[in-house]
Amino acid sequence: MSASIVELWTARFGRSKARRRGLTVRERWAGLAVVVVVLALAGPASAAGGTLLRPPVSTLEPGQFQVVSVPLDVNVVLVGLDPGTGVRQLDVSRFLSALPSQSMPQIRDPAFYGITRDLGLHFTYRYHVTVASQPFDDAFFSFLARDGREGPPTLFQRLYDRQRAARRQIHSNLMIDAVDTERWLGQHSASIGVDTRRYTLLLINWYGRRDFRDHLYNKPGEPDPDTGISDALNDFGPGDAWGGTPADDPERPLGSLRRIWFYDTSAAVAGVDASWNLDDPAPSGGSPVSYRIPPIWEYGTTTGYRPFDDLTGDLAKIARYVAVDMLFTPSPLYDPSLGAAQLPSKINVELTGLSDLPGQQATDLVQGSIVADKLAEAEPYNQITYQAKARVLTGEELAVYTCFHSIFFTAGGTSCYNNPLDPSGFDDLNFWISDHLTSEFIDGRPDFDIPVALYDVPDRLGTGDFLGNTNDDLQTGLQTNITSWSSPGTVEREKPIDFPTPGDMTFTPGTGDRFTVAHAPATFDPAIGSDLHLGDDDSAEVQLPFGFPFLGTTYTSIFVNSNGSITLGAPDPHDTGRYLYQLASGPPRIAPLYTDLNPDAAGSVNAAVHAGSVVVTWSGVPQYGEPSSNTFQVILTADGGITFAYGRLSWPFGTIGVSAGNDHGPTTEVDFGRGDPSGLRAGTIFARYPQGTTLGPTHIVTHEVGHFIGLSHPHDGFDWETGVDFVPQGPFYFAWVGDYTDTVMSYLTQQTDFSQFDRDALNRDMTSVYINTSNSVLGDIYATGNAGLAATQIQSADREAAHAIADLQSLDYEPAARSGKAAYLDVLAAAAKVGVAPVAALHAGRNGQSATSSSRRVHHDGVKDLSALANASP
């Protein structure tokens, strides 16, 4: 695998364990080949005509790489949290000493190739600690109690209750609206002297007060635009932190400009950051220890996976790495200048949809106007468009794709595309696109195209939970293009079982390999026989005293699998029935409800063997990771008859059917809602009731475009003082908590926009890009000796640059970017006047270095560890 970040849409999305094991979105980042022009320093000025040859500038630095100083005030507000040195108090001076005093954002992806790229901004932080007043605390906690809704504990709260080290039990949960809370804090903080238009971290503790209630924060009201699903409504969405909502968020606006992120040490427990797990050093297994931060009442506990004895140190980690490094002043993943030789005013997201599904246009999967609207929120000073074209995935393109797919899940594959930069083959599509499709993408109309290839393929060619990737050039860390993948099994809307339950379904064999499928009245047999003691993803063989005929073979035993199916001739304990190919290509199968059921958690799987029949029952078995109870049975008779008898199903999702297996015969989808079909040939006869995937292609493309224009995730980042680029694993596992931020760059799906923090970062970064690109072009202009011809334009540019820097220092970031752009446009006009081609040096920074192999190796290790990380969820 080549260098660059591999990302995982982990755990929390997937209810199936395949996703939790890290078969999730893998992304990387990269860029078009860019001509790097050697920076020309300003030419010698003539002594006599100096002013004419070199019009004086006071802000811009022609030919130089300029670093802008940005002093930044950061508020830290303690709400219900006592300062002091007690085990549950915050030692303020020690806390402050652990925070960074300064930083310079770096473009992160080039660093994976050993290339250091300063962005040209230098932050110095001034921290202001405020302890909220008693009336503020009282009003706030009373607000929480009013806003919240009482409900049962979440899955993770129940898992917490089972931790050996847990000091308390969580019997109920108050679900509090995260945006309402952020708004309340924004509206009321002025009363304690805190200006929340400045970056503000609120550290909250409700525990220990008489009015304390167990609680979590979630954010309903912003579902995925394609699937309609929101994590706010499942166990993964609710968390212990929130912030970054823009004033004008189209779905859940904050109303006023704020820069708030709050972390509640008494909200317990979140799923995303595994803070529920007190016992296991590394829930994913192996090493290193996954560093998690427990609820405040656990401080003083010494029986957990580590002693919880340093609240101050833990909150300082949250403040430093999450709030300051990832949210308030993040380092961009990719170059916000896009590596463009000239900075564009028009940016076009150009999507080519390649479909291998008959009659389907891949472009129909993405709502392009949403992608363009969201991107326009991030770069309001540029014109954003979206174009899409669809075609059939065929010929050599299909061959390259198929080859890529064959090695996709295989570690250490071999490139089918003879790609010397990435022998593993993961980048075959990336290079195919660069070599064959780029000229098609770049149609010359807009200034800059962001190339997106969307592959729309059948499940057998699907990429599981790898949903999107922003690729780089594998050499300099420049972004090249975006690939994303969709298949029916990975992106679909929820469709619960729509026939009445309790009720029966019969599969009656006819002549040859034909079946008649029929509804029948409920006949659930309460004599369910003996417990097979199946665990999760388990299988047991049951001997029959009769021969059971199925598609030409007679079987004297069956394999009962935990996951709602019976197989013949071989067990199949695999953990998911989401993908049709497993049904069609596995062993011969009879599936009353093929889905990821877990009898380890509750219920049982039983068999009652009679002289001429066998009854197999799943009794009260939950879906893996879901609080559900599902009861159903299958009855096989000596004449080959098959009956599915459904009792109560609270997880009405899965695949129902029979299959000859081994890819034998035709595949026929039936609709039980439309009468009873007869004479169906096996192969595979099935009905699918998909649970739906939380993230649709519109979200994925928006997220990838966010990377392409520079944005990092809110769960990985760069710490300048220590030089550490971190991902949420091992000692930085707690960084997952950053996903509780209102950004589409999070892995949660209750956020469809770019956050206030994203907007701030891009505006600041682009201000520096505009100023430094101006400096580079000005260097060329001055080198001609004729700069005086454009003195008016140059002085105008200089004034705009001064405005930009002043705006930057007063937190007026969007005006700063607009002034920076105005300066750049003036410089372009000056270049035209003087006759200089306005091709800027790559925005390289002054300490650009060539690659070293050691840093690549470090990153390789990171890739491997990241794959393991997804195991960390339950």
Binding site for Zn ion (CB under 5 A): 7, 27
For Zn ion, the closer of residues 7 and 459 by Cβ is 7
For Zn ion, the closer of residues 467 and 827 by Cβ is 467
Task: Quote the tokens at residue 412.
Answer: 């250490």
Q: Closest distance between Zn ion and the C-beta of residue 484, in Å? A: 11
Taking Cα atoms as reference points, which of 171, 179, 252 lies closest to residue 214? 171
For Zn ion, the closer of residues 27 and 807 by Cβ is 27
C-alpha 265/C-alpha 563 separation (Å) is: 38
Residue type, 624: Y
C-alpha 88/C-alpha 208 separation (Å) is: 10
Q: Closest distance between Zn ion and the C-beta of residue 723, in Å? A: 23
Q: For 771, phi and psi rounded to 5 degrees?
A: -65, -45
C-alpha 469/C-alpha 863 separation (Å) is: 14
For Zn ion, the closer of residues 700 and 781 by Cβ is 700
Contact 640, 614 (CB under 8 A): no
Q: Closest distance between Zn ion and the C-beta of residue 468, in Å? A: 7
Q: For 517, phi and psi rounded to 5 degrees?
A: -110, 130
Question: Is the link from the previous residue into 44 a cis peptide, with omega within 30 of 0?
Answer: no
For Zn ion, the closer of residues 5 and 132 by Cβ is 5
The residue with tokens 């993908």 is: 579
Q: Closest distance between Zn ion and the C-beta of residue 695, in Å? A: 11
Q: Closest distance between Zn ion and the C-beta of residue 27, in Å? A: 5
Q: Closest distance between Zn ion and the C-beta of residue 465, in Å? A: 13
C-alpha 264/C-alpha 218 separation (Å) is: 13
Counting other chains too, the contacts that 305-311 makes at CB distance below 8 Å and 24 or more residues apart are 305/165, 305/277, 305/278, 305/279, 305/280, 305/281, 306/281, 308/278, 309/87, 311/87, 311/88, 311/89, 311/90, 311/265
C-alpha 629/C-alpha 800 separation (Å) is: 65
Q: Closest distance between Zn ion and the C-beta of residue 262, in Å? A: 24
Q: Closest distance between Zn ion and the C-beta of residue 624, in Å? A: 25
For Zn ion, the closer of residues 7 and 473 by Cβ is 7
C-alpha 776/C-alpha 838 separation (Å) is: 9
Q: Closest distance between Zn ion and the C-beta of residue 391, in Å? A: 26
Exposed e or buried b per residue across 556-570, where buried means at least 16 C-beta atoms within 10 angstroms of its C-beta: eebbbbbbbbbbbee
Q: Closest distance between Zn ion and the C-beta of residue 703, in Å? A: 5
For Zn ion, the closer of residues 7 and 397 by Cβ is 7
Contact 644, 618 (CB under 8 A): no
If you count them, how many residues does the chain have?
874
C-alpha distance from residue 21 to each of 11, 25, 352, 372 (Å): 8, 11, 30, 33
> HSE (CB half, 13 Å, CA atoms) of 858?
13
For Zn ion, the closer of residues 374 and 818 by Cβ is 374
Q: Closest distance between Zn ion and the C-beta of residue 392, in Å? A: 29
CA torsion, ordered 229, 231, 232, 238, to nearest 10 deg: 170
Strand order in the sheet with 642-649: 530-531, 604-609, 613-621, 630-637, 642-649, 503-509, 514-520, 680-681
Q: Closest distance between Zn ion and the C-beta of residue 789, in Å? A: 47
Q: Closest distance between Zn ion and the C-beta of residue 706, in Å? A: 8
Q: Closest distance between Zn ion and the C-beta of residue 413, in Å? A: 22
Task: Quote the tokens at residue 737.
Answer: 């908590």
Taking Cα atoms as reference points, which of 321, 238, 263, 294 lies closest to residue 12? 238
For Zn ion, the closer of residues 182 and 704 by Cβ is 704
For Zn ion, the closer of residues 8 and 642 by Cβ is 8
For Zn ion, the closer of residues 338 and 711 by Cβ is 711
Taking Cα atoms as reference points, which of 91, 134, 156, 128 lies closest to residue 315? 91
Residue type, 791: A
Contact 537, 571 (CB under 8 A): no
For Zn ion, the closer of residues 688 and 715 by Cβ is 715
Q: Closest distance between Zn ion and the C-beta of residue 480, in Å? A: 16
For Zn ion, the closer of residues 117 and 713 by Cβ is 713
C-alpha distance from residue 59 to each of 64, 763, 808 (Å): 12, 19, 13
Taking Cα atoms as reference points, which of 798, 795, 782 lies closest to residue 831? 782
C-alpha 870/C-alpha 626 separation (Å) is: 18
For Zn ion, the closer of residues 393 and 700 by Cβ is 700
For Zn ion, the closer of residues 27 and 465 by Cβ is 27
For Zn ion, the closer of residues 463 and 796 by Cβ is 463
- Sequence-distant (6+) residues with CB within 8 A of 390 are 352, 353, 354, 355, 361, 362, 363, 364
Q: Closest distance between Zn ion and the C-beta of residue 704, in Å? A: 7
**H-only helix segments in 579-721:** 580-585, 697-708
C-alpha 429/C-alpha 435 separation (Å) is: 10
Q: Closest distance between Zn ion and the C-beta of residue 557, in Å? A: 47
For Zn ion, the closer of residues 5 and 836 by Cβ is 5
